[in-house]
Amino acid sequence: MELHVGDVIKMKKQHPCGENRWKLVRVGMDIKMECMGCGHRVMLPRKQVEKGFRSFLEKKDEKN
């Protein structure tokens, strides 16, 4: 799965604040995400993010 810093994704489960939209802050073996509702940041293993992933809400174009 192609994930890039700046993408906004929708996850299966909601954050305790009620939001399920997350902005990707760091992408690698672990993925750091920021909740779009309260701004809380969490770091999860890539496998767990891919399992809970539902859809892209905003896709950042990475042009090299």
What are the pLDDT digits (tens) for 39-59?
999 999 999 999 999 999 999
- Start-to-end CA distance of the chain, whole Å, equals 18
pLDDT band, residue 1 (cuts 50/70/90):
confident
pTM: 0.86
Q: Which helix (H) or strand (E) holds 54?
A: strand 53-58
Q: In the chain, where are the structural domains located?
A: 8-58
Q: Please check the confidence at residue 63 and state whether its pLDDT lies above 90.
A: no
pLDDT digits (tens, 9 = 90+) for 13-34: 999 999 999 999 999 999 999 9
